[in-house]
Amino acid sequence: MRKRVYGSTLSQLLGCLLLATSYSEAVSMTQKAQQLAPCPSSPNCVCSDEPNESTHYIDPIASIGWELMNAEESRSKKNGQRLLAAIARYLESHDEFKIIEQTDDSLKAEATTPILRFVDDIDMQVRGARIFVRSASRLGYSDLGKNRRRVEKIRAAMAEAGMAQPLSP
């Protein structure tokens, strides 16, 4: 009887340990899912989740009037989701882009260069009233600034449409 109690207690202890471990892994995966993948060391990528001082950093695309919103409004996804939907319409209207996956809060697309047909990956996430973006080349070392220019072109088109703020000088 005593061995059965120890065995039962040991089983419960191991079960609790496994549960705690799987919970911490799930929390870790959730935290990772909220950030875009980091850029490699090569200069062919830009990302809003990179440190501001990094050469890979690019400002998120902010909804119009974002800096004037109160704290509750700026955390609300409604304006960010509208902006992401407008970006999706923009991408669909240009042959170089192909949307791979889209939800209310995220978008994955491919951009193909016209002459050499290189494919770059674009990931976007809604965070409050802003769109965090990552654009990276699949091949090569340098993109000669193509990913940054592409994101800034999207930002400019959204600003022109009255959906996003232009980039401040």
- Tell me, what's the pLDDT at 114? 87
Q: Which residue has the higher pLDDT, 34 or 151?
A: 151
> Is 15's pLDDT higher than 70?
no
Mean pLDDT (whole number) for 33-43: 90
Same domain, 59 and 109: yes
Same domain, 45 and 12: no
Mean pLDDT (whole number) for 93-121: 95
Residue 155 backbone zone (phi > 0: left; psi -120 to 50: alpha; other: beta): alpha
> Is 56's pLDDT higher than 50?
yes
Q: What is the CA radius of gyration of the chain?
A: 21
> Is 28's pLDDT higher than 70?
no
Q: Residue 47's domain spans which residues?
A: 41-160
Same domain, 18 and 69: no
- Tell me, what's the pLDDT at 123? 98
Residue 27's pLDDT band (cuts 50, 70, 90): very low
Mean pLDDT (whole number) for 67-75: 61
CATH of the domain at 51: 3.30.310.80
What residues contact 50, with CB distance under 8 A and at least 6 apart? 38, 39, 56, 57, 58
Mean pLDDT (whole number) for 139-161: 95
Same domain, 2 and 84: no
Same domain, 62 and 140: yes
Residue 129 lies in a domain: yes
Residue 64's pLDDT band (cuts 50, 70, 90): confident
- Tell me, what's the pLDDT at 136? 97
Task: Give the number of domains in the chain.
Answer: 2
Residue 166 lies in a domain: no
Same domain, 47 and 104: yes
> Is 41's pLDDT higher than 80?
yes
Same domain, 51 and 126: yes
Same domain, 77 and 140: yes
- Tell me, what's the pLDDT at 169? 63
Same domain, 73 and 133: yes
Residue 18 lies in a domain: yes
β-strand 119-127 against 130-137: which pairing, if any?
antiparallel
Cα 50 from Cα 98, distance rounded (Å): 25
Predicted TM-score (pTM) of the model is 0.76
Same domain, 63 and 110: yes
Mean pLDDT of all residues belonging to the chain: 82
Same domain, 119 and 140: yes
